[in-house]
Structure 1
Amino acid sequence: MYSNEYGQQIGAPLPDWAPRALPEKKIFHGQSCDLEPLSADQHGRDLFDAFSAAPDGRDWTWLSIGPFAEFSDLYEVLNTFEHSDTNLHFAIIDLSTQKAIGTIALIQPDTLNGKVEMGYVLYSRLLRKTKIATEAQFLLMQYVFDELQYRRYEWKCDHFNTASKQAALRLGFSYEGTFRKLIVYKGRSRDTDWFSLIDDEWPNNKLVLQTWLAPHNFDHHHQQIQSIQDIRKQINAHRS
């Protein structure tokens, strides 16, 4: 608890705080995937092929864009992403095939306050329940907290997007609330659920994710041996 000269409770002082740097276009190397700055020319065809493998458009229901029946439609969106002044988009590269199979982005960075949002998570069916799906998220978390030294990492999704909400909790984010009627998209109203991960929580969460991603946690069929939830329980129990 902190208080001022009037006895009023206030937030923790930050005498050494300074604005942080903007995220940069760079390549992040993982065990099973790389993240590369998104290029419509370089990654567009791979992404269209990966997205087209889905039998219908249900994967795009709670996203503001898509589905894409034509390559030209996707290319236009990717080109806009590539040249965004405010958001930094990455292609997720499967190292086993060297093909782009999804995208992820850091959006609306606030360097003054040290916060940024993870968004535009466009995962093809090739990413479902894979190590890559988690490692791609981990690579950006590590960049945000360890290199950029940000204080807050945000995750927002449609209130009805159960899979996204479950993924946020699995990765260590905390639910903060629902912002009702926040936006209008695709001709309908959206209530948006907010989640966050903060720098105080990162060291423990980093250990959890590193333990899950370790090669010895996967069998020869590439299936996990221990879940993230079980690893988190063990680590938290050991520290308590």
Structure 2
Amino acid sequence: MPARHGGGEAATPSARPTGPVIRDFAPPAAPGPERIEGGHVLLERLDPQRHAEDLFAANQGQDWVWDYLGYGPFADLAGYRAWQTGMAARTDPYFYALRERTTGRVGGLASFMRIDPAHGVIEIGHIEIAPPMQRTPAATEAISLMIGWAFGAGYRRVEWKCDALNAPSRRAALRYGFTFEGIFRQHMIYKGRNRDTAWYAIIDRDWPALARAHQAWLDPKNFDASGRQRQSLSALTAG
């Protein structure tokens, strides 16, 4: 007898839908540019000799910035530089230091990770923005540049994941235009704690409209003489 499913009706080809055929897809290259340039920020391939000292100083006394990361805080510059050295030697995650153009100082890190060219999927993670760079156009532009690079290279999906308890990261994902896709319960253990992971993504067909929203937010005309935004990125990406 034929196998029966669910309500008891026999399975037939018409009852077994499949996804659309993907044509003309070529696996994109893995991340590789040593430098990605924006108007407010430069993304430089992580180099502990050039980047560790600035970032250690920017984070000093602000141990809370490490709360939702699997490492840190670091007791001294030597320990932090050693950690950066290990990360800089890897290609997944592929780390960038974020250098603010106005100050010339490095104010954060971010990486491409879980890089899967065969399926056109890449994640942006290990984001650590030091307090002086937080809530600045440079910080926003850095992530926008990384998303844009990924889709420009031919990736189909850019992911953002974070501890479900990390409210600032979840707000940031929505602000950039990522779509919330759900929570993986008991997904990880880090620093001896449970992590339920919130998943977000942008897919390639979403990006053109979101890219225009990002560009509109970064336009100098969107800021008044005091540097205050006229329109929020959240409003622009929601639209």
TM-score by length of 2: 0.91
Matched, 1:51 2:56: no
Alpha carbons of structure 1 residues 210 and 60: separation in structure 2 relative to 1, 3 Å: same
Structure 1, unaligned runs of 5 or more: none
2:123 & 2:235 partners in 1: Cα distance? 27
Shift of 1:20: 1.5
2:196 & 2:20 partners in 1: Cα distance? 31
Q: Secondary structure of the residue that 1:44 maps to in structure 2?
A: helix
Q: Report the residue type matching 2:135 in the other structure.
A: K
> Number of paired residues?
227
Tell me the equivalent position of 1:92: 98
Shift of 1:142: 0.8
Q: Secondary structure of the residue that 1:31 maps to in structure 2?
A: coil
Percent of residue pairs bearing the same amino acid type: 34
* Aligned with 1:192 (options 179, 197, 201): 197
What value does the CA root-mean-square deviation take over the aligned residues? 1.3
* Aligned with 2:30 (options 22, 26, 35): 22
2:188 & 2:227 partners in 1: Cα distance? 40
Q: Report the residue type matching 1:213 in the other structure.
A: L
For 1:43-192, list aligned pairs within 5 A: 43-52=51-60, 55-146=61-152, 148-192=153-197
1:129 & 1:139 partners in 2: Cα distance? 16
1:20 & 1:216 partners in 2: Cα distance? 35
Tell me the equivalent position of 2:7: none
Matched, 1:215 2:223: no
2:149 & 2:194 partners in 1: Cα distance? 33
1:93 & 1:106 partners in 2: Cα distance? 17
Q: Report the residue type matching 1:31 in the other structure.
A: G
Shift of 1:70: 0.5
Structure 2, unaligned runs of 5 or more: 1-11
Question: Any conservation in 2 of the 1:25–1:88 contact (CA below 8 Å)?
Answer: no
1:29 & 1:188 partners in 2: Cα distance? 37
Q: Secondary structure of the residue that 1:126 maps to in structure 2?
A: coil
2:234 & 2:109 partners in 1: Cα distance? 25
Shift of 1:96: 1.0
Question: Any conservation in 1 of the 2:176–2:237 contact (CA below 8 Å)?
Answer: no
TM-score by length of 1: 0.91
Larger Rg: 2
